[in-house]
Structure 1
């Protein structure tokens, strides 16, 4: 039971401060009203000592029996009973203690029962402040702790979701990369050895990014270039033409791992591979002001556009990469969910067909995650 008697330092600070203030105001009032007597200091000092002991004992009982975890209605009932008990105890213990000090019985209430009742009410005026302050303070503190626990639980759920999504990306990504190497072993063994080195770099990348929520765009771009080198060898430079426009100033921008790589894979699979004559795969990166419907706290967003030949079901529409309830590709589904977990509404991933015959995937990444600014 020792933990019931321990208290945080600020509890004792306010306890002592409050009772010292009571003692000081009562001494001042006695002087102002010309009621100060030699016994006044002794009486007030004993009042403060008993007040400290009784209120701390009341707190101990509240914690011992879990009263502060009850509904507010029951706490109110306990508070009223506790206030009455504290006031009565003070009025009974003070005369007894004063008698012990004086060496003879002294009953301070000359007007009998009425005086005793008045004394209970009088000291109750001060004790009610303590009781209400303590109950409301503890209720507020526990509410804050409950909210903190809820936030921690939400963060843990978000982290678990991200870990699950990242674990699902690896098989999807490696399957496509291995297909590229397999094709090379049949057509160009020498180039296949180079491809194995590039694939090893990609494997190293996947092993590293699983440990992080964000990586620099430059690191992601290096993996994209390795992947495109593999795919360009398989398709040929005429069928897979590349135009990569990524300013060096943006290479440090933090992005979710494999987000851009997934868009590139999707462009190769659904655009270049599905088009008999292939086409141009263009990647454009630029920093621009956040869009009006973007809730990111940063003043700028990183805009990534990946375009490839192809068509959408509705060429005039601008669609989310995966609509709710739609069975999109695993890579795009995971990317959209990871963006939602990391940025909330601060990031966007959309698909559009503009101009006709060209599908553009646009990814907007703010410079902040969960309200923490990462880039000035």
Structure 2
């Protein structure tokens, strides 16, 4: 059993295939009434030897010349010529085998080799053509399918690598943008309210720590993102004071879901920049997290109007859209719309698995 397990699949198929073929001929001769055991055993051994030898020589020739890597257009003519050559060699060897075996076993042969060749060559050639065609087609179809599978795997691997590079690039791009805006906020607070500025610096430090930790992985727990948003909104509320009202509504277990880092934060930052900041009276921001039709739905409502600047959104939302597309292969959706004259609704829908 150990010896059999060490034999490669190629050799197992070779032996099984040629032995089965030779046994079929032997059984046909046995029931045909012309069977002689000595001839049958010799035919079995020599048929298997000739078949394996010819096909194995072809296999080595094909591998040496790289035929297994050719496309079908280049391979088909080579297979056709090879079938013809192998069939001729098979015919000569089999006819010679038939003649010699019968000469040795029967001790005499009433006809010459050339006469025997003429009488049997067509039938043997047709048989050889059929066998060699089947063998070569099976052999190359196997390798062609393996090549196609390897090509698909390689393309998939390259696609994953490309997506990872794009996601890493986008994440690296997002953090500087986010912290630049936060530092700008603190700059104004230092002049207007030093005590609030100190609290803002503490919040920014916490935001920086959380953001750097989150940036190591592609997806983070939803509750980590919500905590980041809470800190960011507190930082902004120091600057806007009573001009900003915030609310975060959740009805699910936040720790059970994973989302893109800085995804909700990008929506909130956009709401501040293009909504609250543009209004003298300020406004509100409401973040809502829920499950809807089996999907994770995150919506951000804020005071404001959709302007051309929002439609042609800058780095934050463009970055988010690209990351959603790359991470979820089109299974996540993003929408921003004006639900009345004074409110903007931005929604992201994530797959839950």
Partner of 2:61: 61
SS in 2 for 1:307: strand
* 1:303 is the counterpart of 2:297: yes
SS in 1 for 2:131: helix
Partner of 1:252: 256
Partner of 1:168: 173
TM-superposed deviation, 1:181: 2.6
| In structure 2, distance between residues paired with 1:112 and 1:137 | 35
TM-superposed deviation, 1:15: 2.3
Partner of 2:27: 28
| In structure 1, distance between residues paired with 2:266 and 2:9 | 53
Instruction: Tell me the alpha carbon deviations over residues 288-330 of structure 1, each in whole angstroms, 9 at most, x when there is no partner.
Output: 01xxxxxxxxxx111111111111249xxxxxx85xxxx4211
Per the normalisation by structure 1, the TM-score is: 0.83
Instruction: Check the 8 A contact 2:99/2:116 in 1, yes or no.
Output: no
Partner of 2:213: 208
TM-superposed deviation, 1:250: 3.5
Report the structure number with the largest CA radius of gyration. 2
User: Which of 234, 238, 249 is the matching residue for 2:239?
Assistant: 234
Matches within 5 A, 1:350-361: 350-361=335-346
SS in 2 for 1:55: helix
Q: Which moved more, 1:61-70 or 1:218-227?
A: 61-70
Instruction: Check the 8 A contact 1:250/1:286 in 2, yes or no.
Output: no
Instruction: Check the 8 A contact 2:267/2:317 in 1, yes or no.
Output: yes
Partner of 1:269: 273
| In structure 2, distance between residues paired with 1:123 and 1:174 | 76
Cα RMSD (Å): 2.7
TM-superposed deviation, 1:188: 3.6
Per the normalisation by structure 2, the TM-score is: 0.88
Number of corresponding residues: 341
Instruction: Check the 8 A contact 2:331/2:351 in 1, yes or no.
Output: yes
TM-superposed deviation, 1:99: 5.0
| In structure 1, distance between residues paired with 2:227 and 2:246 | 14
Partner of 2:76: 76
SS in 1 for 2:189: helix
TM-superposed deviation, 1:349: 1.1
Partner of 1:279: 283
Return 5+ residue gaps in structure 1 as ranges. Answer: 1-7, 290-299, 315-320, 368-373
SS in 1 for 2:278: coil
Partner of 1:296: none
* 1:193 is the counterpart of 2:198: yes
Instruction: Check the 8 A contact 1:348/1:363 in 2, yes or no.
Output: yes
| In structure 1, distance between residues paired with 2:123 and 2:250 | 83
SS in 1 for 2:42: helix
SS in 1 for 2:275: helix
Partner of 1:297: none
Matches within 5 A, 1:85-234: 85-94=85-94, 95=96, 99=100, 102=104, 111-234=116-239
SS in 1 for 2:330: helix
Partner of 1:52: 52
Q: Which moved more, 1:116-125 or 1:90-99?
A: 90-99
| In structure 2, distance between residues paired with 1:160 and 1:114 | 70
Partner of 2:4: none
SS in 1 for 2:340: coil
Instruction: Check the 8 A contact 2:252/2:290 in 1, yes or no.
Output: no
Q: Runs of 4 or more off by more than 4 Å in structure 1? A: 96-110
SS in 2 for 1:345: coil
TM-superposed deviation, 1:363: 1.0
More helix by share: 2
| In structure 2, distance between residues paired with 1:180 and 1:102 | 104
TM-superposed deviation, 1:254: 1.2
Instruction: Tell me the alpha carbon deviations over residues 247-273 of structure 1, each in whole angstroms, 9 at most, x when there is no partner.
Output: 342342111111111001001111111
